[in-house]
């Protein structure tokens, strides 16, 4: 057993705080979300998850990848349904990643070439995120975009984990699985570093959609929210003196 789960949580706490305080997320948390920036984020994530899930399936001969393989939480099919809803039948030709989205995809491929065990970092950042803060974001999205029932928030729907309790239990098993991965100390360090990079890539994708957020909410509201107080991070350990 290793302490990989704790090392990841503690080692990415600052990155998580930064991701929570991007303009995109700050507006989102205030309930201000518009269709255009939201569907563009889903389009980028469709390509990111497609790459991640393909790479994971291609590297199941790597014990670390195999040990964290949970096909029941794969996101690509749910995102495809969302994109059909937001872009229509021709969604596959309509969606286009931003430059930052392309860099994220390229890094997942490069990481798999360097050491497939680095895919663990990319899986952790996305799946644990979607199962954590993502659940609150789902409710905000449904309200802000006034969505019809069961459409448009597939990213945060887990058919195999329908209740908050099921999701909490799953996250515990996921952390146990992380701790049971056969990885060396050197690999642990590299995985934590890669997870911080994955957070940075997520942040860059959100930055790449800021103009769309601004266009939707108007710059005075945007400026007021972005320059408003930062959130204390949800996962960062804050030292009290």
Contacts with ligand HEM by CB under 6 A lie at 8-9, 16, 19-20, 25, 29, 124-125, 128-129, 132-133, 136, 171, 199, 202, 234-235
Is residue 44 a contact partner of residue 98, using CB atoms and an 8 Å limit? yes
C-beta closer to ligand HEM: residue 65 or 128 = 128
Work out how close the CB of 16 gets to ligand HEM at its nearest, in angstroms, rounded to a whole number: 6
C-beta closer to ligand HEM: residue 19 or 155 = 19
Work out how close the CB of 178 gets to ligand HEM at its nearest, in angstroms, rounded to a whole number: 8
Give dist(CA 202, CA 126) in Å, integer: 9
Name which of 67, 60, 169, 186 is nearest 124 in CA terms: 67
Work out how close the CB of 93 gets to ligand HEM at its nearest, in angstroms, rounded to a whole number: 27
How wide is the angle at C-alpha 137 spanned by C-alphas 153 and 66, nearest 5°?
70
31: left (phi over 0), alpha (psi -120 to 50) or beta: left
Work out how close the CB of 136 gets to ligand HEM at its nearest, in angstroms, rounded to a whole number: 6
C-beta closer to ligand HEM: residue 92 or 168 = 168
Is residue 10 a contact partner of residue 225, using CB atoms and an 8 Å limit? no
C-beta closer to ligand HEM: residue 125 or 155 = 125
Classify 218 as helix, strand or coil. Answer: coil
C-beta closer to ligand HEM: residue 31 or 94 = 31
Work out how close the CB of 21 gets to ligand HEM at its nearest, in angstroms, rounded to a whole number: 8
Closest residue to ligand HEM using C-beta atoms: 133
């Amino acid at each position: 057993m290793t302490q990989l789960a704790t090392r990841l949580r503690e080692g990415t706490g600052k990155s998580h705080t930064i991701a929570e305080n991007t303009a995109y997320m700050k507006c989102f948390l205030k309930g201000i979300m518009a269709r255009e920036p939201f569907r563009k984020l889903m389009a980028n994530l469709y390509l990111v998850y497609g790459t991640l899930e393909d790479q994971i399936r291609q590297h199941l001969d790597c014990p670390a990848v195999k040990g964290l393989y949970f096909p029941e939480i794969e996101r690509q099919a749910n995102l495809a349904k969302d994109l059909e809803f937001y872009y229509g039948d021709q969604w596959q030709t309509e969606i286009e990643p931003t430059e930052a989205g392309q860099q994220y995809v390229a890094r997942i491929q490069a990481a798999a070439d360097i050491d497939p065990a680095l895919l663990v970092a990319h899986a952790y950042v996305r799946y644990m995120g979607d199962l954590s803060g993502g659940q609150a974001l789902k409710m905000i999205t449904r309200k802000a975009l006034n969505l019809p029932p069961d459409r448009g928030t597939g990213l945060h729907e887990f058919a195999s984990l329908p209740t908050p309790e099921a999701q909490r239990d799953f996250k515990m098993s996921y952390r146990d699985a992380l701790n049971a991965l056969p990885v060396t100390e050197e690999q642990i360090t590299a995985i934590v570093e890669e997870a911080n990079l994955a957070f940075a890539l997520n942040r860059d994708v959100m930055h790449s959609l800021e103009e769309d957020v601004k266009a939707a909410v108007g710059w005075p509201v945007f400026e007021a929210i972005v320059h408003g107080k930062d959130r204390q991070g949800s996962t960062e350990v804050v030292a009290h003196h």
